[in-house]
Amino acid sequence: MRKEFFVFFTFLLVIIFLLFPSSFSFGEDKKKVGVTKFFGTGLDTDEIVDKLVEVEKQKGEKYQQEISNQIIRKAIINFLDSNLKDLKETAKSLYDYRSPFGNRLGSSSDESIVKILPNRGAEIKEVSIRVEKMAKPDTFISDPLPIGTKLNPFRFTITVGTNSYEIDFGGGTLYDLAKTINDVAGNAVSASVVKVDKDNEVIRISSKKTGKSNRIFISGDVSELIRIGLLGRNVKKEEKPKELDIISLFTPSLTLKLSKRTVLSNSVEYAIAEKTVLEVSNDFYYYQPPKVADIDIRLMESVKVSNVEVKGGSAIGSLQSFVTYISNDYDFIILVFSDDTKRVIRISTNYQVVDLGNEKGKTIKQVILRNGNDLVDIVFSKIRVFDKKEVEFEPGFVPKNYISKADNAVLYVDGVRIERESNDIDDIINGVVRIVGEDPNKEVSAKVDYDYASITNAISNFIEKYNNVMIYLSKITKPIVDRRQLYEKPDEEKEEGSFATDTDLIRLKDKLRFLAMQPYKTANTNIRLLYHVGIYTKDIETKLDFQSDLWEYVRRGVLTLDNEKFTRALLQDIEAVKQVFANDTNSDKLVDSGFAYEVATLSDTYTRVNGIFALKKKEIDNIIKANKDYYAKFEERLEDYRKSLESKFAKLQQMLRESKSKQDWFKAQMKGLSSSSE
């Protein structure tokens, strides 16, 4: 037992001296704690145990280091995963519902008159538009009234189109009236009060929609509205329509007979308006066809054949030619316009009204009356051209002070007159033609074209995402030169070479590079490669210096977009450029070819839920978990080791106390013996 204690005690001294070399001194420095304290006042075992445990703990750092390495690797995979997902979505956006090739741009030679707002996929076209007038709402105001003018209670009805609104006004100011109108009829009209100067104000009422059908009618008890000058009595003006009496051009009589085979002509000047019509009233007189004259009849002459003579025979009439009589030519009236075009009027009934509105803007310069028949006379009792008035409902009281009257937009599209209730017209292009001004004398060129800037920006963004992935892949798969562990490297160096031997990532980098060099099927054999549309790693005309930055870009597979060359390719054949990136080669309405399609497909194999990156991250998580488990078990063993040391040092302290007690007894005995011997 004593021998074992001595061995342990010797070992302990060695450890103590190694751990606390500065705590012991056998020289002159008596202030330092030395062996005397160790054997005298007791031993501080807690610090010794902590140091011993710390030494042992270093053996478990390899687990923590591996966990750190794997956390860094997972962060790198996450970053690459995020970048590749961005690339995939950007690639898909080039051919799905977001494709920039479907974007359209509208332009107008005069944006102050017409704006073009096309939808995606609108037909590429150009039209000529002349705006005769814009659509307008009904807008009117009252007379200027002193600020704070009071109105008595009254009830009235506002009608807009097919909708009527019953308004029971309880009296009050113009502001109160405007609020009541807005509360009840706010879907159809808008009412407001406007100060015209420091002393006066008006109430303003406007329909919310343009067009003749949205005219505002006010009925009921309107006495208060008349008093404030919002409504006034409707004064009807009987205007005689502008008229051209064609019969009077040829005869002073009330009727004009046009005999068979007759042509009459006269010069006039009459401008065709929107509602111009031609009214014709007439009677037809038909002649009987001539009878065939009497025919001289005689017998056939005698004919002798050999010794046989044939006499007499059936009667033969004299052959005569008869005049052919025409009786179905009904083109009786021809109008010749100032631009030398003609309008032929067919007359087949006794009365008809012909609409000339499609000839609006033209001027009649000549009227031709003709009868090309032999058996028909025509007697006209009326041939007149005039502007037809529309019959509209006119109430007894109408707005007194109009700002604008409800009216339709009238415009000519490639010479064809159209009329619409709104200034936003959606049936000329796939989108909206917005009328913002009017000029009856100005032709505006309106065009729908591809949005080339949008296409270029989208392709540029795609190439940028592609380059980000290629640069990062080149960095993390770079051959290893620095053999330090990832956790030992500075942050800016951790990624470089971190997956130098990972075949999945090397394959991804090589495949992406291959896709950028691949020819794709298009409708134009001159546009099949990315190079043909101005996208390349190196221009073939550029000499390569292996010490230059260009070589580094080429080595990494970085693509360059030549905007000028790309724009030329778009203008040359935009459909072929589109097919380089995405194409449906078998006409099944699904994209199955093209650079963007192939990049998106490849990226998906890595980034989808059960893709290659998901498996890699799961593998890394498993390694991290295993090392955490190893470290947890190591910590358990380390705790057991601590407890073992504490137990041994407790025994050591007990033995030291016993030893010191015996030492003190021995010293006392020796001291007693020394005293007795004296």
Q: How far is residue 367 CA from its own chain's centroid?
A: 55
Predicted local distance difference test score (pLDDT) of residue 7: 43
User: Beta 303-305 vs 409-413: how paired, if at all?
Assistant: unpaired
Same domain, 226 and 333: no
Which stretches of the chain score pLDDT less than 70? 1-45, 53, 56-57, 236-241, 290-327, 390-394, 539-554, 656, 660, 669, 672-678
533 in a structural domain: yes
- Rg over alpha carbons for the chain, rounded to the nearest Å, is 54
Per-residue confidence (pLDDT) for residue 514, from 0 to 100: 94
244 in Cβ contact with 386 (< 8 Å)? yes
Burial (0-12, 13-18, 19+ Cβ within 10 Å), 590: exposed
Measured CA to CA, the distance from residue 27 to residue 195 in angstroms comes to 107
- Residue 18 is predicted with a pLDDT of 46
CA geometry: angle 144, 145, 151, nearest 5 deg? 135
Domain identity same for 490 and 566: yes
Question: Residue 110 in contact with residue 442, Cβ under 8 Å?
Answer: yes
**Is 240 contained in some domain?**
no
According to the model, what pLDDT value does residue 22 have?
43
Residue 61, C-beta contacts closer than 8 angstroms, at least 6 positions apart:
none
Q: How far is CA 539 from CA 560, 562, 571, in A?
A: 9, 10, 21
Q: Per the structure block, which two tokens stand in for 505? A: 């990532």
Question: Exposure pattern of 56-91 as b/e (b: 16+ CB <10 Å)?
Answer: eeeebeebeebbbbbebbbebbeebbebbbbbbebb
Instruction: Judge if 469 and 586 occupy the same domain.
Output: yes
pLDDT of 23 reads 42
| Residue 580: both structure tokens together | 């380089």
Residues 6 or more apart whose Cβ sits within 8 Å of residue 111: 436
Tell me: do 464 and 568 sit in the same domain. yes
Q: What is the pLDDT of residue 311?
A: 57
Written as six digits, the tokens of 17 are: 């001296």
pLDDT in tens, 354-385: 999 888 889 999 999 999 888 888 999 899 99
CA distance 125 to 607: 42
Q: Can you give the pLDDT at residue 236? A: 64
Q: 641 in a domain, yes or no?
A: no
Same domain, 356 and 269: yes
Q: Residues in the chain, how many? A: 678
Among residues 197, 158, 164, which one has the least CA distance to residue 177?
158
Task: Give the Cα-Cα-Cα angle 265, 356, 364 (nearest 5 degrees).
Answer: 35
Q: What is the pLDDT of residue 585?
A: 94
Residue 484 within a domain? yes
Distance CA(302)–CA(103), nearest Å, equals 96
Q: Are residues 432 and 514 in the same domain?
A: no
Residue-number span of the structural domain to which 151 is assigned: 139-233
Specify whether 519 is located in the same domain as 480.
yes
pLDDT at 42: 52
Claim to verify: residue 228 and residue 369 sit in the same structural domain: no
Give the span between the Cα atoms of 589 and 585, in whole angstroms: 9
Work out whether strand 431-435 and strand 424-425 pair parallel, antiparallel, or are unpaired.
antiparallel
Last-in-domain residue among 215, 233, 251: 233
**DSSP letter (8 states) at residue 486:** G
User: Is residue 410 within 8 Å of residue 422, measured between CB atoms?
Assistant: no
Helix count and strand count (H, E) for the chain: 13, 33
Residue 606 inside a domain? The answer is: yes
Q: Please state the domain count of the chain.
A: 5
> Sign (positive/negative) of CA torsion 239, 245, 251, 257?
negative
Measure CA of the first residue to CA of the last residue in the chain; give whole Å: 38
Q: Look at residue 455 in the predicted model and tell me its pLDDT.
A: 97
Task: Give yes or no for a contact between 528 and 522, defined as CB atoms under 8 angstroms apart.
Answer: yes
Last residue within a domain, chosen from 590, 617, 644: 617
Determine the Cα angle at 460 with ends 459 and 463, to 5°: 85
Q: Please check whether residue 226 lies inside any domain of the structure.
A: yes
Residue 320 and residue 618: Cα distance in Å, rounded? 111
Q: What pLDDT does 563 receive?
A: 92
- Same domain flag for 561 and 459: yes
CA 337 to chain centre: 47
pTM confidence score:
0.64
CA–CA dist 446, 45 (Å, integer) = 95
Q: How many CA atoms lie within 13 A of 531 on its CB side?
A: 9
Q: C-alpha angle with apex 88: 562 to 452, nearest 5 degrees?
A: 40
Same domain membership, residue 457 and residue 597: yes
Q: Give 264-303 pLDDT, tens digit per residue.
A: 999 999 999 888 999 998 888 887 776 655 545 555 556 5
Please check whether residue 657 lies inside any domain of the structure: no
SS3 327: coil
> What are the tokens at 84?
């590749």
Identify whether the C-beta of residue 465 lies closer than 8 Å to the C-beta of residue 471. Answer: no
Place of tokens 């075992």: 45
Same-domain pairing of 192 and 325: no
- Here the tokens at position 13 are 């001294």
Buried b (16+ CB within 10 A) or exposed e, 272-293: bbeebbbbbbbeeeeeeeeeee
- CA 249/CA 133 separation, integer angstroms: 35
Claim to verify: residue 199 and residue 154 sit in the same structural domain:
yes
Does residue 52 lie in a domain region? Answer: no
> In angstroms, how far apart are the furthest CA atoms of the chain?
218
- Residues 218, 427: contact at Cβ < 8 Å? no
